[in-house]
Amino acid sequence: SKVPHDREKAISYYEKACNFSNPVGCAALSEFYLDGDIEQFNNKELSLKYSIRACMLKDFSSCNEVAKSTNFNKNSETGAIIVPLLEEGCSFGDRESCYIFANNLNRTQKSLKISLYKKSCELDFAKACFSLASMFIEEKNNSTSFKKSISLFT
């Protein structure tokens, strides 16, 4: 027999899964509240709460979504949670985590930023390749940097 469409029941089961530390359940709740087409299911604060929970449970795509949807500072409460998890996601080979982590470093952390963009680029993340090339091109006085950036695209 066919299962009836019931949003409230779906949410209760997603909540149960999330409460049992299932990151996919938390991420599903986040999506549900983010994309809610009915006012009671459209709640960006709840969406963020569940994304952060999924992230803390090592769902790195949720960490990436939190990082992209908030202007976090690594010294903020959200940043204190997200930055180490982006770093961990990168160490596990999540290319977007490497890219977002690099984007949130300041200019004084240039060598780390380059290595993170390079890792992300090597994992086939085009935005990271572009960012890496742009960094080398910024070094106007260094012709080898320009040659290095061109080699990324050949």
- Lowest-pLDDT range of 31-40, 58-67, 81-90, 102-111: 31-40
Percent of the chain as helix, strand, coil, to the nearest 5 = 75, 0, 25
The number of residues making up the chain comes to 154
Q: Say what the pLDDT of residue 108 is.
A: 84
Class of residue 61 by CB neighbours under 10 A (exposed 0-12, middle 13-18, buried 19+): middle
Q: Are 88 and 70 in contact (CB under 8 A)?
A: no
Q: Say what the pLDDT of residue 78 is.
A: 76
Whether residue 146 is predicted with pLDDT greater than 60 in this model: the reply is: no
Whether residue 154 is predicted with pLDDT greater than 50 in this model: the reply is: no
Whether residue 121 is predicted with pLDDT greater than 60 in this model: the reply is: yes
Cα separation, 65 vs 142, in Å, equals: 36
pLDDT, tens digit, for every residue of 16-68? 999 999 999 999 999 888 876 666 677 888 888 999 999 999 999 998 888 88
Look at residues 44, 43, 64 and name the one whose alpha carbon lies nearest to residue 55. Answer: 64
